[in-house]
Every structure is written in C-alpha cells, then in structure tokens.
Amino acid sequence: MENMQSNLPLIACLISLGAVLPICLFGEKRRNLREASTILAGILKLSVVCMMVPLIAGGKVLNFTFIEIVPGIELAFKVDRFGIIFALVASSLWIVTSIYSIGYMRGLHEHAQTRFYAFFAVALSTTLGVAFAGNLLTLYVFYELLSMSTWPLVTHHQDKEAREGGRKYLTYLLGTSVGFLLPAMIFCYLKSGGNSLDFSQNGFVSSFVNEPTVAIVLLLLFVFGFAKAGLMPFHSWLPGAMVAPTPVSALLHAVAVVKVGVFCIIRVFTGVFGIEFLQELDIGQIVSYIAAFTVVVSSLIALSQDNLKRRLAFSTIGQLSYIILGISLLNVYGITGSMTHIAMHAFGKITLFFCAGAIFEATGKKYISEMVGIGKRMPITMIAFFIGAMSVIGLPFAGGFWSKFYLVWGTIANEQPVLLITFLASSLLNGAYFFPIVFKAFFCKPEESLFEDKIEEAHPAAVIALSITAIGTVMLFIFPNPLFDLAKAAATQFLS
Amino acid sequence: MKVFQTIIAVVLGALLIYAEADFPAWASSKSPANAGELSQYYIKNIYDETLVPNMVTAVLADYRGYDTLFETVVVFTAGLAIFAILGTGVMREKKTAVPAPKRIYSEPPFDLIVRISTRMLVPVIQLFALYVLAHGHHSPGGGFQGGVILAASFIMLELSSDLRAEAAKLTHRMSIWLGIIGIVIYAGWGTLSLFFGGHFLDYDMLQALFPLDPLMARSHSMLIVEVGVAFTVSSIMLLIFRQLVSGGYSIPDKQA
Amino acid sequence: MLQHAPVIHLLAPFYAAIIICIAGMWRKETAYPIAVTALSLSLLSAVATLIKVGIAGPVIYAMGGWSAPFGIHFHIDALSALMAVLIQVVALLTAIHSRHPIHSSIGEKSYLYYPLFLLFVTGVTGICQTADAFNLYVLIEVSALTSYALIAMGEKRSVHASFNYLLVGSLGATLYLLGVGYLYLKTGTLNMQDLNFIMTTRELFSTPTIQVALILLMVGLWIKMAQFPFHGWLPNAYTWAPSPSAALMGPLMTKVMVYVMIRFMISVYGLDAIVDSMWTTWVPYLAIAGIVYGSLMALSQHYLRRMVTYIIVAEIGYMVGAAWLATELSITAAFYHVISDALMTLALFLCIAAMRVRHDIRSIHDMENIFKKMPITMVAFSIVALSLVGIPPTSGFISKWYLISAGIDAGHWPYIIALLLASFANAVIFFRIFEIGVFGKKPAEGHHHEESHDKKYLSEAPFSMLIPCLVISASIILLGIFNQPFIEMISTTISSISGGEVLQ
C-alpha cells in the first residue's frame, strides 16, 4: 500500500458543489439547463471517481490534505479501496437518481425543484467527503454537513407531516452525533495524546485503552453515535424521513445517508479500533447481537406496514443491520460481505424505491393494499420491483445473493449458529413481506384487480431510471468479481 | 424579596469585616500604601521631576494623566448622554420659540436680598474658582475642583434670578462646545507630544515649545491640562443642571 | 509612527467622536462617514499591533513616558491585541450597518449617537490594553456610561431598561473598584504585573484581604458580564436598545468583561494561586446553572432580540465555566470562545436588524417565508445558527471542541453535559426558526404542488446592512477553518504568563 498525493478526491468531492451555482442560476425558468447541469455534474463526478479506481485497485492510497484544523489533525482525504467502493456506488447512483428525479418531480409538478436539485448536489458532495475521509474528524465534519444538507430535502413538501418528519430526523441525527459521537471523538483525541485520529491499520484506540469495559462503552458510543446506520433504538428517523419525495428516499435513504452511517461504523471498526484489537478483547459480539435484534425486529415490523415506503424503510433498517452484523463478525467473509452488501443493497433498494415512487406518480397509490393487480398496468415497474426484492432477499439472479452468501459464510466461519439462524430467518421474513406485493400485483383474478387492463407506466425518465438500476442489480449478479475482488482485498488489508 | 436582599447585604458586610481583620493599622506609616515602593518613589522624587509641590496634583495630572483624561471624558460623556437622552437634539436655537411645558422652569419667587447678594458674591466665587484652578500646583485644588466651583457660581446665579434669561446667555451649544474644547485641550496636548516623538501625554517632549527647562515644561503642561479639565467640568456641570431642570427643552426666547 | 500604534486605535475613535460632535452641529450627514473612516483607521492600527505582537512579543507602551508602576502602562500581549482587533472589527461592521437603522429611528440625534458609539469603542479598547487596575476601572466607567446612553436612545422601555442596567452596572463597577482598592491596600501598587510580583513574593494569596478582593472583583465582573444569577439587566437592556447599540454592545461589553476576568486570573493572581481552590470547584457549577438557565429561557422566547440575549447569557456561562476550570487548555478554550461568540452574537444582531428594517420582523412568528424574502440575509443567519449549534467547520464547532476537550481534560463531566444540552437547545431554537421561515406558521395539511413565485417576495436588506452580515458569516467560517494561528497565539501567551514570566 503506497501513499500518493492527488487532487482527484478533492475534485470529485467538489464537482457537485460546483454544480450548485448553475443549478441555482438556471432555476425554474430554464429547467432543462438546470437538469442538464445536474446530470453533467454527475457524469463528471463518476468519471473522476473512475479515474481513481485503477490507481486504488493497484494498491495505492490517494491522499489530499487541506489544513490543520485542530492541533495534530488535518482535514484530509485518504482514499482506499473501501472508500472508492462507496464513492462508486454513490456517484453512479446519483446520475440514475437525477434521471429519475426529472421524471418524478416533473410528473408530479412538484414545487421548489431548484432547491431540491441544489441541496441534492450538496448532499452528494458531503457523501463523497465521508467516503474519502482520512481521519475521524474529517469524517465527523462531513457527516454533520450531510445531516444539514439533507434536512431541506426531507422537509421538501413543507406540510405538517414533513415538519414532523424533519424534526424527528434532526433530533435523532443531531442528538446522537453531538451527544455520543462528539464526546467520544474528543475523548479519543485527548487520550491518544492529541496526535491524530487517522484511520490506521490497527486503529489508534489500542494505544490508550486496555480494559474491555472502556472499549465497549467507547465502541457503543461510536456505533450509536452514527445513528444514520439505523441501529435500534435510534432508528425511528428512517421511517419518519419517508415523508420526503421518493427520489430523496431512494438516493439518500437507500444509498447516501444510511450507507454513510454503516460506512462510518465499518471505518470505526477497522480504522479506529482495528479488527485485531476488537478480536483480542472479543467485543464484537455485543454489536452483533444489537444488530441481530434490529434485523429481526425490523423485519417483523415491516410485515405489519401497509404503506409501501414505510415497509421499504423498515426493510432498509434490517439490511443495514446485516451490514453491521457482517462487520462485527470480524472475519474476512463477514467484512467482505458487509462491504459488498453496501453496493448490492444500494442497487436493490434504490430499484424498489424507484418503483414505489413510480407507482405513486402514475397512480397516486401509496398503500400496498391498493396495489392489487398493478402488474398489469405497470409491468416494467413491477418486474423491476421483483428484481430489487430478490436482491434484498438474497436470491440468485440478483446481486444481493452474493453478498448475503458471504455474510452467511461469515457466520459459519465464526461458528455462531444464532447469527446464522438470524440471517436465514430474516431472509424468510424478507420474502414474506416482499413476495405478496409482487404476487398480488401480477397474479390476481381479473375481478380483484383495481386497475384497468391497459399499460400506463410512469413518466419515461422514471421508468428508464428504474430499469437501469434493475439491470444493474442483475449485472452485479452476473459479474460480481470486480466488486468482490476490490472488497476482499480491502478486507484482507484490514485484517492483516 | 426583602429577606433575600437583607441576606445579601449581611453576607457582603460579613465579607468586608472578615477582610478588615487583615488590614494594616489605620494610617500606619508602614502600610503598603505608604511604605510601598510606589509611594516612596513619589514622595522622594515628585518635586525633583516636575517642580510641583502638590504631590496629588502631580500624580493626577502627570504620572497618571491618562486616567485623568478619561475621567474628564467620563464627565463629558455624562453630559453628552443626558443631552442625547433628554434633549430634543436641537442644537441651533431657532428664532421662533419652543414653548416649554408649564411644570418645568419653576419661577423662583422674586427676592431682592437673595438676588442682590448673589450678584455680589458670584464674581468673588468665580475668582476663587480660578484661584483654585491655578493654585492647584501648590495647594489642594486643580481642574476638577475649580471647574465645579465655577459651575456652582453660574448655577447660583441662575437659581436666584430669572432662570430663563440667565440660561439664555449660555446656550446648550455653547456648553457642549466648551466641553469639547476642554477635552481637546487635554487630549490635544497629549497628542502633541506624539508629534514630538514622545509617548502620548509625555510632557517631556514639549520642551521644544517652551524655551524653559524640561521640568518647568512639565509644570506648565500640567496647568494647561488642568485648564482643559476645568473647561469641561464646568460647562458640563452647567449643561447637566440645565438639562435636568428644563426636562430637555431648549431655552425659549424671552418673548415666548 | 508605528511605534505609537497602540495609541492610535485608542485615539482615532476618540477624536472622531469629538469631530462628529462639532461637525454634526452643522451637518448631520457627516457623522456616519467620519465614524466609518475613523474605525477603519483604528482597525488597521489594531491589526498592525497584532502583527507586531505576534512577531516580537508583548508590546509595552508607557503613557506619559513614565515607567510602571509609577505611570500607566499598556501591556499588550496576544490576548489584548486580539481583543483590540475584535473590537475594531465589530465596531466597524456595526458602524457600517448602522446607517439605515439610525436614519430611521434616531435620525435627528445621530450626531450625538455616533460620538457615544465611538466613545464606547474607545472605552472597551482601553480596557483591553491597559495594565493598570485602576485605569481599567476608569475605562469601565467610560464604556458603561456610553452604553447606558446608547441603550436609552431606543424605543419604549429602553430608558427604564437602561436605568436598571445603570443601577446594577454601577454596583458591579463599585465592587470591582472595592476589590482593586483592597489589592492596593495590601500591596501598594496598581500595575498588574507589579501586583502579581508583590503578591507572589510576599505570599499574600492566602490573606483574607486578598481573598475577599478576589471575591469582590469576580462578583463585580460577573455582574457586568451578565453571568447568572447577575444577568437580570441584560435581556431588557439589549432588547429595547436601538439595533446598532445592541449589535455593538452585545458582542463587546460582556465579552470584554470576560477578558478582564481572565486577565485578572492569569496575570494578577496567576493560575497557581487559583487552581485547586474552592473557586475551581464551585464556579463551574454556577456557570452550568447559567448555561442551563440561558438555554431554557432562550427556548421559550418569541421575540428575536430577547432570545439572543438569553443565548448570550448561556454563552457567557460557557466561558466562565471553562475559565474557572483553571487549566491552560481551558483558558485557551474560553478565550477562543470569546472571539468566536463575539462574532456570532454580532452576526445574530445584524441579521435580526436587517430583518426588522425591511419587514418589521420582531418575533419568530413574523418570520414566515423569510427565506424567500431575504435569501442572502438568511444564508448568513443560517451559518450563524449552524455555528451556535456546533456544526463543523464553523468557529462554533471549534469552540465546542476545545471547550469539551477542556472539560474532559479537567474531568468535569457536568460541564460537558451542560455544553451538549445547550447545543441541542440551540438546535431546537434555530431549526424552529428555519421551519417557520420555510414552512410558514401553519404548514398546509396537504401536498403543495404550485410553483412559488419568488420574484415578487424578494426584498433584501439594504447593502449597508447586507455586506456586514455576509462578512461576519464568512469570518465565522474562516475563523473555524483557520483557527490554528489564533489558538497557538493564545495558548503560547497563556503559558508564558503562567510559566512565571513576571514582568516589571
């Protein structure tokens, strides 16, 4: 692993920030130009990220240091394999989401679209900032900025629900980050002699913490501090945030915001504490059990939800805990599985959300009970939904199969039957809450169908977007290797 | 509430008494204020350095002249503040009268004896005020004291006779002007030494202006700044009196 | 001329005040340009002094040419120089901003307002630079008197509020004077460095007189800085004052008193005398009470100005608590927060004034759709709000970082919890404002679909008010990102003072 100075991370991060100006200037009057700026920025961003991939796959680490902001710590980017995986996922899905948003927002004649696109761009900037962060402080800075920049998106509709949802959002996210994360971070800073909070191979906590109790408390402070990962009991903001327009739910709450949460937790495990240290003290277990609990409970709650987006939200909570469970297994399969599941779940979930939004845009339906027979009317959408569901459940022909495979393998390798059963049971539950939707959509008696027999999909841009992600999910199944090689190399590195 | 306040007062008193246990003996020559390096230096060196026998004035106007400048500024500010808050802000008395409300400007009853005796006393008082000012170097006195006596003489005059007529002789604008002049004299004198290469308020440097020896330069500079102080203090005292009495209204013309 | 820089930024506002008094008698319009010019000049001078101090160490300027302790000295170290620059920056921006409000509210008397304004600046600048305890009192008097007048020139109940302030403030100043008197009684000198020297060599720190002197000094200063429970004068005073007065004094008056408190703690008494005393045990709790009280009261306010005044009370609690943890780190944190908070308070007052001028907004509930009406001002306001909550990379986050570090370092967990609670409270306050600003008072039940017509709402503040708002918000971010030079300067100075460099 060799270090290399590079401006690429900074450029990638700032591209979307730079897009804010044209977006605001073009405004609603020249909205085609505005949309074009977004998409152009997205393509540029993806290209810069892709430029970094070969370097990183070859084993380099790209560095960019900005300024020393606190004695001993700089705002710095340090891009490694794990970071680039996340960055790839986020930037590629931004383009798709932008296409989708065009369809969705225009189809519904939404208000304040300029504000929407502008804050979206800012949110993506901060997401990449998190992905590239080289130390805990930089991570924290961008984490907070992400919370701030997504609040206007969550409260976009500006109605009573949005206000409540927004309040919950902020209370949970700010409350945990300021209440748990900040003191934990400063504590580490002070106790480590004010040297650095850099993510290093073996973590830096080991230099000043010896007892398991302190380590556990610190670990839990971090894990709960990153409430974006949706671990219970700090998960309520996620379903609350479903008041946002679907593109927001799709990108942010399937890809950016929640994945930032689990990304940060993985960083904490691997870079702050270090896998070896955690193995020595054997404290991964606690997090495993919290995650397992979240998986089961959220799946059960999902079963009871009739609002499609809420069901998807609880499904997300469960899937996030898969990822956390994976990392807490502290072995190569678990870590690989969790990293790849970030990507797989992103593609799968975003497809599902796109479909939910398309259904709402085309028919105005939000509730599953109203969606009987919708397959006849929106076949493309529902097929995509099916593919997404398969990925989330972990069935073959969808990418999620591979990541789940690794996760399960990880539990076997650790000889933890309880966790294995958790995974399998939750897969069943996932099936239980997804399949009926698909089934009822397609295979219902003509009399039961609530829709007429003609095909009338959503706005074309939306349909294109969801098809792209569905195809992406399948492609990830057929060609998993690039992703998995990268992930495995990263995992091995964390473990060595 | 009263109980609360009583408690606070008692606590404060107790603190003060507790501290008093430790005080040096009353007027002891060995107390730090007397025997300390600072005081001893003053006692020994003031006359040699400034040719001013009155140590208090010397410390006030020279060694700690910066303090005195700002004390003067405090007086000026007080006047300005009252003028700003109370006054109508009209500096230029218009030829048309501003009618004053009846309750203000109480007309003192006409008393011949008071009026005549005041008239005879006032010049003497003013002379004494100037004496106090000028003789501050040698006896207790100085700018503040002289200025106040001067102001008191004017106030007495106004109180004993027709307030409006007397007051019209020295308008608000004039008062503020005089106040400013006083400060300008003081601060300006200090700034002059900047131009001559010394520090602010360093009278040493002004020997270039005076063809006297440096020590006399100090003594004379002190007199000059004291004059400035007197200007300010007297005019502002008068201004405050006038403002409070009139409730801020301009002095109307006699015909009003 | 540069060697006289310390005096220039003292005298420039002073002379400008006099000139305005004179010139204003003829033309009122000259007041504003003269004030702005003078303050720009003094800002340059203050920056020059800061640079000089940064390069060469403390600057000593003897008034009247007499050396200490016989005369009055300016002893300008990094702390003083930073305060001086801060004061000039705040004053200049407020002066620029004041054109509109003064014109509309005070108008006739503006030629009296600006001299008082400038004399206040002179007063606080003098406070920060002097090394003489009694001189400090004289300048406290100057700044206090001018502040009473500046406040009383406002509306409605301002005179009453100012009178209250006058009574309480005079009490505070008196206690301070009494404290200085006791110090003089025991040591025979008034110069700060000399006081420290004599008290250390004669081991006077444990004598009753000196202890009581400390109590009197501190209580007096706490009254003047509005530390709970002596804060009663602050809310009314700053709520009813004219906007420029509040903008000038809110950031400065109380923070300068915090500076004086720190100055006495480190230069006169010295950290060694204070550490491990009853003070470091109990005063942080007083501060915590202030933080909690201020935050809770701020939460319950509707009037914007009043809300800000309670936020000030809470912030003073941060500073007092940190300072009285009495470690070098904690005092550095407290001082950095002085600068950071002064800027944040200024920004709040400026933005509020801008909103009032254009749309007559006085309370939170008037702020419907404010983001559409005054987007640029609200950007500035949002930055300040984020800084108060403690979102990186603003200076508020850095202050919180250092304050929490100081708390962890000293092991004072209640203080840290109070800080975090106050952050939450600020978040609630400001996001409530954002909600009203974005959603309007009663958010619609259904789903909006109509497009908003921005143009007809847009009514931004005048430039003279907008530019200072933007400059301040930018500086809040810049101070946050580039905080290292300042922190270094501050902590080096504090260590060198505490390290026993006793200067004569």
What does the pLDDT look like over C324-349, one tens digit per residue? 988 889 999 999 999 999 999 999 99
Peptide bond into C229 cis (omega under 30): yes
- Which residue among A158, A170, A190 places its CB closest to the CB of C448? A158
Task: Give the pLDDT score at A194.
Answer: 62
State the complex-level ipTM. Answer: 0.88
Residue C419 in tokens: 């800080």
Residue A451 in tokens: 């829709």
Cα A158-A164-A170 angle, rounded to 5 deg: 100
Task: Decide if A69 and C431 are in contact by the 8 Å CB cutoff.
Answer: no
Q: How far is CA C386 from the centre of its chain?
A: 19
Whole-model pTM over 0.80:
yes
How close C400 gets to chain A, by Cα (Å)?
9
Distance from C-alpha of C152 to C-alpha of C158, rounded to nearest angstrom: 5
Task: Give the pLDDT score at C1.
Answer: 59
Task: Answer whether residue B132 is part of any domain.
Answer: yes
Q: Do the chains B and C touch each other, judged by at least 3 C-beta pairs below 8 angstroms?
A: yes
Peptide bond into C69 cis (omega under 30): yes
Peptide bond into C242 cis (omega under 30): no
Cα B94-B95-B97 angle, rounded to 5 deg: 85
Higher model confidence: residue A38 or residue A58?
Answer: A38
Task: Give the pLDDT score at B102.
Answer: 47
- Which residues in C have their CB inside 8 Å of a CB on A? 386, 389-393, 398, 400-401, 404-405, 408-409, 416, 420, 423-424, 427, 431, 435, 438-440, 443-452, 480-484, 487
Q: Do the chains B and A touch each other, judged by at least 3 C-beta pairs below 8 angstroms?
A: no
Task: Give the pLDDT score at B99.
Answer: 53
Residue A479 is inside which H or E element, if any? none
Average pLDDT over every residue of C195-220: 87
A332, pLDDT greater than 90 = no
Task: Say how many C-beta atoms besides its own lie within 10 A of residue B240's C-beta.
Answer: 19
Q: Which residue of B has its CA nearest to C219?
A: B12
Taking contacts as CB-CB distances below 8 angstroms, the residues of chain C near B240 are none
Cα B21-B27-B30 angle, rounded to 5 deg: 85
How close C447 gets to chain A, by Cα (Å)?
6
Are residues B229 and B178 located together in one domain of the fold?
yes
Residue A399 in tokens: 């990418």
Task: Decide if C398 and A69 are in contact by the 8 Å CB cutoff.
Answer: yes
- Which residue among C18, C145, C198 places its CB closest to the CB of B184? C18
SS3 of C13, please? helix
Task: Say how many C-beta atoms besides its own lie within 10 A of residue C167's C-beta.
Answer: 11
Do C193 and C502 form a contact (C-beta atoms < 8 A)? Answer: yes
Residue B192 belongs to what domain range?
A: 57-246
- Which residue among A68, A75, A186 places its CB closest to the CB of C401? A186
Do B212 and B48 form a contact (C-beta atoms < 8 A)? Answer: no
Task: Decide if A144 and C443 are in contact by the 8 Å CB cutoff.
Answer: no
Interface test with B, best of C209, C219, C223, C240 (most B CBs within 10 A): C209
Are residues B105 and B214 located together in one domain of the fold?
yes
Which of A234-238, B19-23, C189-193, C263-267 is least confident? Answer: B19-23
Task: Decide if B201 and C63 are in contact by the 8 Å CB cutoff.
Answer: yes
Q: By C-alpha distance, which of C223, C245, C225, C241 is closest to C170?
A: C223
Peptide bond into C393 cis (omega under 30): yes
Higher model confidence: residue C154 or residue A244?
Answer: A244
Residue B214 is inside which H or E element, if any? helix B214-246
Strand partners, B158: none
Taking contacts as CB-CB distances below 8 angstroms, the residues of chain B near C145 are 74, 77-78, 81
Distance from C-alpha of C485 to C-alpha of A271, rounded to nearest angstrom: 29
Residue C198 in tokens: 């004599």
- Say which residue the tokens 């966790």 belong to: A419
Taking contacts as CB-CB distances below 8 angstroms, the residues of chain A near C447 are 157, 159
Are residues B123 and B205 located together in one domain of the fold?
yes
Do C225 and C257 form a contact (C-beta atoms < 8 A)? Answer: yes
Task: Give the pLDDT score at C140.
Answer: 94
Residue A185 in tokens: 């971070």
Interface test with C, best of A70, A143, A237 (most C CBs within 10 A): A70
Domain boundaries, chain A: 283-496
Distance set, CA A240 to CA A172, A205, A313, C444 (Å): 11, 35, 9, 18
Interface test with B, best of C103, C110, C112 (most B CBs within 10 A): C112
Residue B174 in tokens: 């004039």
* Residue % of chain C over a pLDDT of 70: 94
Do A329 and A411 form a contact (C-beta atoms < 8 A)? Answer: yes
Distance from C-alpha of A267 to C-alpha of A139, rounded to nearest angstrom: 9
Distance from C-alpha of A229 to C-alpha of A262, rounded to nearest angstrom: 5
- Convert the pLDDT of each residue in C225-266 to its tens digit: 998 888 889 998 898 888 888 999 989 999 999 999 999 998
Are residues B76 and B172 located together in one domain of the fold?
yes
Task: Decide if C393 and A75 are in contact by the 8 Å CB cutoff.
Answer: yes
Number of domains in chain B: 2
CB-based contact, A164 to chain C, within 8 Å: no
SS3 of A198, please? strand
SS3 of C191, please? strand
Q: Which residues contact A298 (CB under 8 A, 6 or more apart)?
A: A232, A235, A314, A315, A317, A318, A321
- Convert the pLDDT of each residue in A395-408 to its tens digit: 887 888 888 888 88
Task: Give the pLDDT score at C343.
Answer: 94
A278, pLDDT greater than 50 = yes
Confidence of residue A380 (pLDDT cuts 50, 70, 90): confident
Are residues B102 and B169 located together in one domain of the fold?
yes
Task: Answer whether residue B43 is part of any domain.
Answer: no
SS3 of A211, please? coil
Task: Answer whether residue B110 is part of any domain.
Answer: yes
SS3 of B10, please? helix
Task: Decide if A159 and C448 are in contact by the 8 Å CB cutoff.
Answer: yes
Q: What share of chain A is helix, strand, coil (3-state, %, to 5)?
A: 75, 5, 20
Task: Give the pLDDT score at B165.
Answer: 64
Task: Give the pLDDT score at C348.
Answer: 93
Task: Decide if C423 and A112 are in contact by the 8 Å CB cutoff.
Answer: no
Q: Using CB atoms within 10 A of its CB, is residue A152 exposed (0-12), middle (13-18) or buried (19+)?
A: buried
- Which residue among A141, A175, A182 places its CB closest to the CB of C404? A182
Interface test with B, best of C105, C132, C146 (most B CBs within 10 A): C146
Distance from C-alpha of A92 to C-alpha of A342, rounded to nearest angstrom: 14
Confidence of residue C454 (pLDDT cuts 50, 70, 90): very low
Residue C454 in tokens: 């921005």
Q: Which residues contact A59 (CB under 8 A, 6 or more apart)?
A: A1, A2
Taking contacts as CB-CB distances below 8 angstroms, the residues of chain C near B200 are 4, 7, 11, 61, 63-64
Task: Decide if C148 and B81 are in contact by the 8 Å CB cutoff.
Answer: yes
Q: Which residue of C has its CA nearest to A186?
A: C405
- Convert the pLDDT of each residue in A291-326 to its tens digit: 888 999 999 998 888 888 888 889 999 889 988 888
Average pLDDT over every residue of A439-461: 72
| B92 Rama class: left (phi>0) / alpha (psi -120 to 50) / beta | beta
Q: Residue type at B215? A: L
Beta strands, E only, A391-448: none
Are residues B133 and B11 located together in one domain of the fold?
no
Interface B-C, measured as beta-carbon pairs within 8 A, has a size of 165
Average pLDDT over every residue of C107-126: 88
Interface A-C, measured as beta-carbon pairs within 8 A, has a size of 103
Distance from C-alpha of C178 to C-alpha of C34, rounded to nearest angstrom: 38
Q: Using CB atoms within 10 A of its CB, is residue A150 exposed (0-12), middle (13-18) or buried (19+)?
A: buried
- Say which residue the tokens 């619609």 belong to: C444
Residue A85 in tokens: 């995986």
CB-based contact, A394 to chain C, within 8 Å: no
Return averaged pLDDT per consecutive 10 residues of chain B, 256 residues in all: 86 87 79 81 84 87 89 91 72 47 56 86 93 88 90 86 66 80 87 79 74 78 89 90 72 40
CB-based contact, C60 to chain B, within 8 Å: no
Distance from C-alpha of C298 to C-alpha of C296, rounded to nearest angstrom: 5
Are residues B121 and B12 located together in one domain of the fold?
no
Distance set, CA B69 to CA A345, B226, C145, C166 (Å): 76, 10, 15, 22
Task: Decide if C69 and B38 are in contact by the 8 Å CB cutoff.
Answer: yes
Do A487 and A339 form a contact (C-beta atoms < 8 A)? Answer: yes
Interface test with C, best of A69, A108, A143 (most C CBs within 10 A): A69
CB-based contact, C69 to chain B, within 8 Å: yes
Distance from C-alpha of A458 to C-alpha of A360, rounded to nearest angstrom: 9
Task: Decide if B38 and C182 are in contact by the 8 Å CB cutoff.
Answer: no
Q: By C-alpha distance, which of C58, C57, C63 is closest to C4?
A: C63
Task: Give the pLDDT score at C453.
Answer: 45
C446, pLDDT greater than 50 = no
Task: Decide if A144 and C401 are in contact by the 8 Å CB cutoff.
Answer: no
Average pLDDT over every residue of A338-356: 89
Task: Decide if C187 and B81 are in contact by the 8 Å CB cutoff.
Answer: no
Do C185 and B33 form a contact (C-beta atoms < 8 A)? Answer: yes
How close B205 gets to chain C, by Cα (Å)?
9
Query: Mean pLDDT, chain C, as a whole number?
Result: 86
Query: Mean pLDDT, chain A, as a whole number?
Result: 84
- Convert the pLDDT of each residue in C378-417 to its tens digit: 889 999 999 999 888 889 999 999 999 899 888 888 999 9
Task: Decide if C431 and A189 are in contact by the 8 Å CB cutoff.
Answer: no
The neighbours of chain A, by the rule of 3 or more Cβ pairs under 8 Å, are C
How close C333 gets to chain B, by Cα (Å)?
32
Q: Which residues contact A421 (CB under 8 A, 6 or more apart)?
A: none
- Which residue among B66, B176, B203 places its CB closest to the CB of C72? B66
